[in-house]
Amino acid sequence: MNIPEGHQAVMPYLMLDDAAGFIEFIKDVFGAEITQQSIRDGVVGHCEASIGGSTIMFSNTREQWKAATANMFVYVSDADEAYEKAMMAGANNVMEIADLDYGRSGGVADPFGNVWWITSIADPGEFE
């Protein structure tokens, strides 16, 4: 099996009512890098973003493609910081940041219909 560089065997593909806003959200909160972007007639077409080496694909909704969002689990270096950035960027709390058995984790719902489970591990050996 051949998989293009920067891709995984399984990647989420989101259909969003405001893909342009989503781009700004993931750049601000997770430091996402937009690796591919197509805009036609002012509408965001196929886009790819890399967050920590993982690719998310997404596009603006169209008549034939209705909104389809997801719950995503993302590792970050500082869960508290990412959670606060998400809240400042318009997200809503789903679960307060707390120390859990698998790391420091919490959840937010972004303004585009996705839920992000944000997690960091201070000592990687602690949760093995």
What pLDDT, in 10s, does the model give residues 39-97?
988 889 999 999 999 999 999 999 999 999 999 999 999 999 999 999 999 999 999 99
CATH topology of domain 13-62+69-127: 2,3-Dihydroxybiphenyl 1,2-Dioxygenase; domain 1 (3.10.180)
- pTM: predicted TM-score of the whole model, two decimal places: 0.91
Chain centroid to CA 7: how far?
15
Residues 6+ apart with CB under 8 A from 34: 23, 27, 47, 48, 49
Q: How many Å apart are CA 60 and CA 108, to the nearest integer?
A: 21
